[in-house]
Every structure is written in C-alpha cells, then in structure tokens.
Amino acid sequence: MRLLLDTAVLIYAVESPEGLSRRVVATLENRENILELSAFSLTEIAIKATLGELKLSAAIARQAVEDLDVRILPYTAEHAFQLFERPLHHGDPLDRQIIAQALSEKIPIATPDEKFGLYKGLKIIW
C-alpha cells in the first residue's frame, strides 16, 4: 500500500515515537508498504527549525527519510488543482497542499490531525 506521511508523523518518528499510534507504527514497520513524504513536509520542517520551533536539522531529517525508507513525493500542478475543489476546512496552507497530494494520488495519509478527516474522500490512517 502507498501511504503519505503527514509532517507530524515524521517528527514523531524522530522526536517521540511513543506519540505514534500502534496502527501507524505497524504500517511504518511493514516493508511491503510504500511510504511517501510530501516535499512540502520538508519545507515545513525547515521553516519550523529555522524559527526555533523544532530541533530537527537537515541531517536528522535526511537520516529519518533514509531510515524509514521514505520516498519524497514532488508537488505537481495536478496536486495544486485539487485545491480549487476543496473547502477550507484546514487553515494551514502546507497541510492543505499535503491533503491535495493525497487526494490527487488517491492514497491514504497517516496523520494525527483530526481536521484532515473533514475532507471528503481522504482516507486517514491513525
């Protein structure tokens, strides 16, 4: 199964794995799954680290991506067009772009963010 990881899932995996649900841990450990992370998640981590809101460095983020065997999902025009069709349930523009990617790719997303569940057609793993 392809699965898009929300930024929070990568952060939890690095900083506090005990914050991950059992279901997400099992999904991350299943080597048959194809784990993906939005390029926007890396942007979000970089912004928060620069602002001092996160202690994740670029090296730690790279290592986490490698350790979890995560593919980076580029953001495309097709993903962006999904935003035209979606209500503004979530005020965070980076999260909205990640949601658009999951909907466009028709893949579930692993996230603890309850607002993601407001988007019709989005399958949540948590």
Q: Is residue 91 predicted with pLDDT exceeding 80?
A: no
* Whole-prediction pTM: 0.93
In the chain, the domains with their CATH numbers are 2-125 (3.40.50.1010)
Over residues 86-106, the mean pLDDT reads 90
Tokens for 72?
A: 């980076």
DSSP, residue by residue, 17-83: GGGS-HHHHHHHH-TTSEEEEEHHHHHHHHHHHHTTS----HHHHHHHHHHTTEEEE---HHHHHHG
HSE-CB for 88 with a 13 A CA cutoff: 3
Residues contacting 122, CB < 8 A, separation 6+? 99, 102, 103, 108, 109, 116
Radius of gyration of the chain (CA): 14
Give the pLDDT confidence score for residue 86 in this predicted structure: 84
- What's the order of all strands across the beta sheet hosting 70-73? 70-73, 34-38, 2-5, 109-110, 124-125
pLDDT of 88 reads: 78
SS3 13: helix
